[in-house]
């Protein structure tokens, strides 16, 4: 089981980095350019910016490239390539954006907590794009889905205490 946990965390490191970096970017250009849907709510909201999305993809890809360099010849770890690093990072940011889209459709405000959606949207996006080039075992996916809410909450509490995030979720 420990091997499965290490493997899942290794595979998700680019997605975790991609998800963590956008608040640091202090983006100004909203991805939806202020547009609204017919329901009267913004498409994504001010929290999803071009700068944050880009910084997330770059940071996650960099983490994946570092993993690729470090893991050469290490048995048991999922292979990390430039393509998989990018797909995990881009997928994480895409999944996070989809989560914001869903929250806006539900009439939720920016920063309003959506239990499990906030914690798992980026993981599901990363896993979906990664699965285009490599498989994820059901056990690995289950491990990711069980560990991520805990890790996500701890990381957000830390970000809140450091003044990076406005809310601890």
Are 92 and 19 a contacting pair, CB within 8 Å? Answer: yes
d(CA 128, CA 94): 10
d(CA 55, CA 13): 15
- Whether residue 167 lies inside any domain: the answer is no
Tell me: the pLDDT tens digits for 91-100? 999 999 999 9
Q: Which domain holds residue 7?
A: 2-161
- Whether residue 115 lies inside any domain: the answer is yes
d(CA 52, CA 20): 10
- Whether residue 168 lies inside any domain: the answer is no
- Whether residue 15 lies inside any domain: the answer is yes
Averaged confidence pLDDT in the chain: 93
Tell me: the pLDDT tens digits for 16-63? 999 999 999 999 999 999 999 999 999 999 999 999 999 999 999 999
Task: Provide the number of structural domains found in the chain.
Answer: 1
Does the structure show a pLDDT above 80 at 169? no
- Whether residue 169 lies inside any domain: the answer is no
Give me the pLDDT at residue 109, please.
87
d(CA 106, CA 8): 31
Give me the pLDDT at residue 163, please.
87
Are 59 and 89 a contacting pair, CB within 8 Å? Answer: yes
Name the pLDDT band for 2 (thresholds 50, 70, 90).
Answer: confident
- Whether residue 126 lies inside any domain: the answer is yes
Single out the residue of 88, 122, 129, 87 nearest to residue 102, CA to CA. 122
pTM of the model: 0.91
- Whether residue 92 lies inside any domain: the answer is yes
Structure tokens given for 146: 């069980």
Give the up-direction half-sphere exposure of residue 58: CA atoms within 13 A in the CB hemisphere: 10
Tell me: the pLDDT tens digits for 73-109? 778 888 899 999 999 999 999 999 999 999 999 999 8
Give me the pLDDT at residue 159, please.
87
How many residues does this entry show for the chain?
A: 169
**Cα first-last separation, the chain:** 28
Alpha-carbon dihedral of residues 54, 135, 147, 104, nearest 10 degrees? 50
Does the structure show a pLDDT above 80 at 72? no
């Amino acid at each position: 089981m420990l091997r499965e946990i290490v493997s899942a965390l290794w595979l998700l490191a680019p997605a975790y980095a991609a998800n963590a970096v956008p608040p640091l970017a202090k983006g100004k250009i909203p991805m939806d350019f202020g547009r609204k849907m017919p329901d009267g709510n913004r498409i994504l909201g001010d929290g999803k910016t071009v700068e944050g999305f880009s910084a997330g993809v770059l940071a996650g890809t960099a983490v994946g490239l570092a993993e690729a360099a470090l893991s050469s010849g290490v048995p048991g770890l999922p292979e990390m390539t430039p393509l998989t690093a990018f797909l995990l990072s881009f997928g994480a940011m895409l999944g996070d954006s989809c989560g914001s889209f869903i929250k806006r459709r539900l009439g939720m405000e920016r920063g309003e907590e959506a239990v499990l959606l906030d914690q798992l949207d980026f993981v599901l996006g990363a896993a979906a794009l990664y699965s285009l080039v490599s498989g994820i075992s059901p056990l690995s996916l289950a491990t990711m889905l069980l560990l991520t809410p805990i890790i996500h909450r701890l990381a957000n509490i830390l970000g809140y205490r450091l003044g990076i995030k406005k809310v601890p979720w």
